[in-house]
């Protein structure tokens, strides 16, 4: 007996991307304004349907590439949202992903989507269940950020201790003591201090650091665990 698949229903399957960025001060989220019905003109997550010739990860990368022009974006699958009426016009099963990107000057957002960065704090209401997706994504981001060095995905290659602390404060929505923060980071010994300084923030200037991924991987293989 072979299984007959024709008796089972088939579903539209989409991916929706929660795109996080960091401007040095606040956690940001990239939203798009819908240019089709229903809910034309309202804000939503960037999404797209999963095609026949791609898996969901690839679909998410494609969608992100379409919007930002970037390749190999840091991406993690989150949850599936499967309520029958989660979208009013059709039953669509959606798999959510969160993405972490550097907000660089030369980042060229595709203008077709009327995309815009919002502070996570005062982002607009989103369509359908996208608010819930964002909420879930923030929780996951916090969890990941506390056990994996994913913060560096949101920073430029070189950054100051202050940048890093601002980032973690933004992610966790709490403030840290400067001395405790730096000694914790330095204690992990996964950054290299360059001999360059960022002179824009103060007269004295502050040293720039890089994340040393090689060293990190080596330490991991020796049993080290990142912990914030």
Partner DNA sequence: ACAAAAGTGTTCAGTCTACACCCATGG
Partner DNA sequence: CCATGGGTGTAGACTGAACACTTTTGT
227: partner contacted, choices a second copy, DNA, none (Cβ within 5-8 A by kind): DNA
Non-local (6+) Cβ contacts of 109 within 8 A are 30, 67, 68, 115
Closest CB to a second copy among residues 146, 165:
146
Instruction: Give the residue, chosen from 70, 93, 109, 228, that forms a contact with a second copy under the rule CB under 8 A.
Output: 93
* 146 makes contact with a second copy (CB under 8 A): no
Residues 152-191 that bind DNA (CB under 7 A): 160-162, 177-180, 182-184
Q: Are 47 and 129 in contact (CB under 8 A)?
A: no
* 3 makes contact with a second copy (CB under 8 A): yes
| Among 113, 23, 35, 134, CA closest to 67 | 113
The CB-of-211 to DNA minimum distance in angstroms stands at 16
Instruction: Give the residue, chosen from 82, 112, 173, 183, that forms a contact with a second copy under the rule CB under 8 A.
Output: 82
Q: Are 149 and 225 in contact (CB under 8 A)?
A: no
* 144 makes contact with DNA (CB under 7 A): no
The CB-of-91 to DNA minimum distance in angstroms stands at 45
Tokens of 197: 């300084």
Closest CB to DNA among residues 52, 180:
180
Instruction: Give the residue, chosen from 23, 41, 49, 218, that forms a contact with a second copy under the rule CB under 8 A.
Output: 49
41: partner contacted, choices a second copy, DNA, none (Cβ within 5-8 A by kind): none
Tokens 């100051």, residue located: 160
Separation of alpha carbons 91 and 98, rounded Å: 22
The DSSP result for 55-75, as a single string, is -HHHHHHHHHHHHH---S-EE
The CB-of-80 to a second copy minimum distance in angstroms stands at 5
Separation of alpha carbons 109 and 66, rounded Å: 9
Q: Where are the alpha helices (DSSP H) in 101-191?
A: 130-147, 161-172, 178-188
Closest CB to DNA among residues 4, 195:
195
The CB-of-182 to DNA minimum distance in angstroms stands at 5
Angle between helices 161-172 and 130-147 (to 10 degrees): 130
Q: Which residues bind a second copy (CB under 8 A)?
A: 1-3, 5, 8-13, 35-38, 40, 49-57, 77, 79-80, 82-84, 89-91, 93, 95
């Amino acid at each position: 007996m072979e299984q007959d698949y024709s008796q089972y229903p088939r579903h539209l399957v989409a991916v929706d991307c929660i795109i996080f960025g960091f401007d040095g001060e606040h956690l940001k989220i990239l939203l798009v304004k819908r240019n089709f019905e229903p809910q034309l003109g309202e804000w939503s997550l960037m999404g797209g349907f999963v095609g026949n010739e791609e898996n969901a990860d690839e679909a998410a990368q494609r969608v992100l590439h379409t919007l930002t022009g970037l390749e190999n974006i840091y991406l993690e699958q989150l949850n599936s949202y499967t309520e029958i009426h989660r979208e009013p016009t059709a039953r669509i099963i959606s798999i959510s992903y969160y993405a972490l990107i550097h907000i660089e000057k030369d980042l060229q957002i595709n203008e077709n989507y009327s995309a815009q960065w919002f502070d996570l704090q005062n982002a607009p209401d989103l369509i359908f269940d996208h608010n819930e997706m964002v909420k879930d994504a923030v929780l996951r981001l916090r969890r990941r950020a506390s056990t994996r060095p994913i913060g560096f995905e949101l920073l430029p290659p070189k950054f100051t201790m202050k940048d890093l602390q601002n980032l973690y404060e933004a992610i966790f929505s709490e403030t840290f003591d400067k001395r405790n923060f730096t000694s914790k980071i330095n204690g992990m010994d996964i950054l290299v201090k360059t001999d360059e300084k960022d002179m824009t923030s103060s007269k004295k200037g502050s040293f720039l650091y890089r994340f040393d991924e090689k060293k990190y991987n080596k330490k991991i293989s020796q049993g080290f665990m990142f912990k914030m």
